[in-house]
Amino acid sequence: MPINITMPALSPTMEEGILAKWLVKEGDSVSAGDIIAEIETDKATMEVEAVDEGVIGKILVAGGTEGVKVNAVIAVLLEEGESASDIGKVSDISAAPPPQPSPSGGEGVAPANVTPAKEQTAPAPIAAPAANTGERIFASPLARRIAKDANIDISAISGSGPKGRVIKVDVEKAKAEGVLAKTPASKATMASGMSSEAVKALYEAGTYEERKNDGMRTVVAARLTEAKQTIPHFYLNIECNLDNLLKARAEINGSAPKDKEGKPEFKLSVNDFIVKAWALALQKVPDGNATWAGDSILYHKASDVAVAVAVEGGLFTPVVRSAEKMTLRQISDAVRDYAMRAKSKKLAPHEYQGGSTAISNLGMFGIKQFSAVINPPHGTILAVGAGSERVYADKGEMKIGVIMDVTLSCDHRSVDGALGALMLDAFKKMIENPVMMLA
C-alpha cells in the first residue's frame, strides 16, 4: 500500500516549515534511515530520514516551498510491487490533520512517514471570510500566506482551483497585476497606532530599504512581545570584582596541555566562569531556580542554563544541561560547540528548548550594563556587562580593580525581590572567590 511521506514536526510547537530541498527524485529507491530531504524552521535546518524502504513514487511539494504545514503530504512512497497507478489522488497537500497526542498525553512530534495513502481522507479547504459580502472565500494556506505577505485582499481574487478555490498561482497573478484592494493593517502596526503604509509615508522615497522578516525574526519578535506584555519583570543590579577570577583563569589557561602543534588544548573564557557560577548559585538558592506554570510554580532540581548566542538575523539560546555538575572545561567545550552550530543553524530542537534561566553576555561588545528580557518559559535572565578598571573603597582604603556589572531580570510571579537578591549574592561570592567553584 502506498505510504504518504508527511511534513515532520521538528518541535512540539512547530506548525509549518520550509521544505528546503529534496535529496532524492522520483523513481529513486530508498531504505529506512536514508536522508531524503532537508527541512528549515525559524531555528534550524534538519534532515528528514525515510522510515520505510521503497521507491519515491511522487514528489508533491517542490524543494524551496515555504509555509508547508506539519503533517501535509509532501511525497508518496511505493512499496515493493506497486506502481504510480496505485497512488490515489491528493486534492490538498497544504493542509493536514493535526498531530496526534503522544502516549504521555502531551503533543507528539510527528514522524516523517505515518499514514497509508489509501486511509487518509482529503481535508476540507480552509475558508477565509470575504471582506465586504460576508461570504466565505476558500483558499489554500499557502495562497493565504502569500496574499498576507503581499498585503492583498484575498476576497477580491477569483480562484482557479477546485470549486473556485484560491490557490498560489491566483495570488501571484493578482500580485503581478497590482490592482487589488489592500488588507487591513496588521495587529503590530495597529498597536502602534499607524498602518505600515503610514509609517512608510513618513520617509521620503528612496531613504530606506525594506527587508521582509524571516521566520527567526518573526518568532523572536512574537516571543519578546509576549514576554514584556505577560511577564512582570523587575531588575536587580550588583557589582562583582573580577581580580581573583582573572588571576585564576590565567593560571588555569597557562597550565593547559599543548597539542602536537604547540597550541593549548583548551582556553577558558570569563563567560565559562559566569555560567558555572550562576549554575552553582541556583543550587545554593534552589527556590530561585523556578519557572511560572500558571496554577503552580516549577522548582527545578538541575541548573539548566541557557546561553544567548547571537546569529545573523536573531539569536539562539542553547541550554547547558546540569551545568552545576560540569567542569569549567566541559562548560567551555559545550558552549563553543553550541555557538558554532548555532551560526549554521545545526542545533537540534532539544538543544535550545527548556531550561529555567538564561545568561546574556554583551561584555565582549564593550557594553557595561543592560537589562535583558526574560525568554519564556524561563523565570530569570542574567545580563552581564564588560569588566572595567574602577576605583573602589575597601576597608577605608581606595583601590583599583576590574569590576563587572550584572543585572538580574526576574519574573515576579515566581521570584520575589529578596529571593533574587539572595541569588545575586550567591553568584557574587562565586565570582569573587572562584576557588569555591572547584570545591
Active site members:
412
Cβ contact 419:412 at 8 Å? no
* Gap between the Cα atoms of 21 and 108, Å rounded: 25
Query: Hunting for cell 550562576 — which residue is that?
Result: 278
